[in-house]
C-alpha cells in the first residue's frame, strides 16, 4: 500500500494585533471584576453613597456655575464631594478588591505559561492588567464624577459655561488620577502572594493603617500628614484644581510621598513578573 504524502496548507489567517491582545487582557480583568458579587455590591453601594446622594445635593443647591469649591477646598457647609473621607475609603476598598486577584490568580494557576508562550512580554502583561484595573476604577472614580458635574452644569442659572467646562476638564483629570494612584500598591501585593485574601486584606489594611498612623502623628509634625494616603489623594486634588498645597506641607516631601506610593510598587511588580517569565 503506497504511502500518502502529507500535505501542508499555508495558514491564511492573521495574527492577533498587538493592541487587540492588550485590550483582550484588560477586558478579561473588567469582566472578572464585575462578575464578582462582592466587588459588584461594593461598587453599587459606593455609587449610591459617594456619588448619587452628594450629586443630588449639589444639583438641588442654587448655583450659577460649576465651581471647584463644590468639589474640593472648603466645600459646601464644610463638606466637599471629592475630598470626603467616604470617597477615599471606597477607593481603598475597591482597589483592594480589584487588584487582589489580578496576579495572585496567575501565580496560583501557573497561567504565566499561557501568557508568555504567546508573543507577550512583561511590559505587555502589566499594561493589560493595569489597564483592566483602571477601567474598573475609572467606572467608579471618573465616570460618575463627570456625570455629576454635567448635571450641575445643566442646572446652573448663570451663563458662565466656559468656566464650568474648565472645572469639568479638571474633574476628568482628578478622576483619572484617583482611578490609578493606588493601583500600583495593590497590584504589587497581588504579585507577592498566591492568596487572593492576603492580597486584598493586606492592601486595604495597609492603606487604612497608614491613614491612622499619619493622623495620629500629625499632631507632632504636619509632615506626618503625608504618610496618610488619603491626604495624598486630597492634596493632589487641590493641586489639580489650582488651590495648591497647604502652607505647612513641603512640596518636595509631597512629591516624594507620591513617588514612593506609585513608582517602587511598579518596579517590584515588574521584577516579580519578570522572575516568573524566566521560569517559563
Q: Three-state SS string across 110-142, please?
A: CCHHHHHCCCCCHHHHHHHHHHHHHHHHHHHHC
77 alpha-carbon distance from chain centroid: 29
Q: What pLDDT sits at residue 2? A: 55
Q: What pLDDT score does 11 carry?
A: 44
- Residue 100 contacts residue 183 (beta carbons within 8 Å): no
Residue 26: phi, psi to the nearest 5?
Answer: -65, -40
Nearest to 81 by CA among 64, 58, 48, 63: 58
Report the distance separating Cα 195 and Cα 93, nearest Å: 17
> Which pLDDT score is estimated for 16?
53
DSSP per-residue letters across 172-211? HHHHHHHHHTTHHHHHHHHHT-S-HHHHHHHHHHHHHHHH
Count other Cβ atoms within 10 Å, centred on residue 8: 6
> Vertex 28, ends 103 and 191: CA angle to 5°?
5
Say what the pLDDT of residue 6 is.
46
pLDDT (tens, 9 = 90+) of the chain, 280 residues, equals 555 554 445 444 455 566 777 788 888 888 888 888 989 999 999 999 999 998 898 888 888 888 888 888 665 555 688 888 889 999 999 999 999 888 888 888 777 777 776 667 788 888 989 999 999 999 999 999 999 999 999 998 888 889 999 999 999 999 999 999 999 999 999 988 888 888 889 999 999 999 999 888 888 888 899 999 999 999 999 999 988 898 889 999 999 999 999 999 999 999 988 887 777 6
Q: How many residues does the chain have?
A: 280
Please tell me the predicted confidence (pLDDT) of residue 263.
Answer: 95
Distance in angstroms (rounded) separating the CA atoms of residues 2 and 111: 45
Q: What is the pLDDT of residue 78?
A: 55
Amino acid at each position: 500500500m503506497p504511502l500518502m504524502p502529507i500535505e501542508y496548507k499555508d495558514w491564511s489567517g492573521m495574527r492577533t494585533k498587538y493592541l487587540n491582545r492588550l485590550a483582550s487582557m484588560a477586558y478579561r480583568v473588567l469582566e472578572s471584576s464585575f462578575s464578582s458579587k462582592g466587588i459588584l455590591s461594593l461598587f453599587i453601594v459606593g455609587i449610591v453613597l459617594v456619588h448619587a446622594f452628594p450629586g443630588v445635593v449639589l444639583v438641588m443647591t442654587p448655583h450659577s456655575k460649576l465651581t471647584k469649591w463644590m468639589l474640593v477646598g472648603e466645600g459646601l457647609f464644610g463638606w466637599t464631594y471629592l475630598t470626603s473621607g467616604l470617597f477615599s475609603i471606597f477607593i481603598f476598598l475597591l482597589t483592594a478588591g480589584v487588584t487582589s486577584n489580578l496576579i495572585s490568580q496567575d501565580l496560583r494557576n501557573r497561567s504565566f505559561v499561557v501568557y508568555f508562550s504567546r508573543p507577550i512580554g512583561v511590559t505587555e502583561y502589566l499594561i493589560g492588567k493595569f489597564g483592566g484595573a483602571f477601567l474598573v476604577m475609572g467606572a467608579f472614580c471618573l465616570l460618575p464624577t463627570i456625570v455629576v458635574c454635567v448635571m450641575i452644569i445643566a442646572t446652573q442659572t448663570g451663563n458662565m459655561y466656559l468656566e464650568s467646562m474648565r472645572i469639568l476638564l479638571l474633574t476628568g483629570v482628578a478622576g483619572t488620577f484617583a482611578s490609578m494612584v493606588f493601583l500600583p500598591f495593590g497590584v504589587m501585593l497581588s504579585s507577592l502572594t498566591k492568596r487572593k485574601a492576603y492580597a486584598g486584606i493586606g492592601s486595604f489594611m495597609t492603606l487604612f493603617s497608614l491613614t491612622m498612623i499619619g493622623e495620629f502623628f500629625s499632631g507632632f509634625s504636619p509632615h506626618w500628614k503625608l504618610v496618610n494616603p488619603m491626604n495624598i489623594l486630597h492634596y493632589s486634588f487641590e493641586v489639580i484644581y489650582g488651590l495648591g498645597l497647604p502652607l505647612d506641607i513641603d512640596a518636595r516631601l509631597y512629591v516624594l510621598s507620591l513617588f514612593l506610593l506609585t513608582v517602587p510598587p511598579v518596579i517590584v511588580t515588574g521584577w516579580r513578573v519578570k522572575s516568573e517569565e524566566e521560569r517559563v
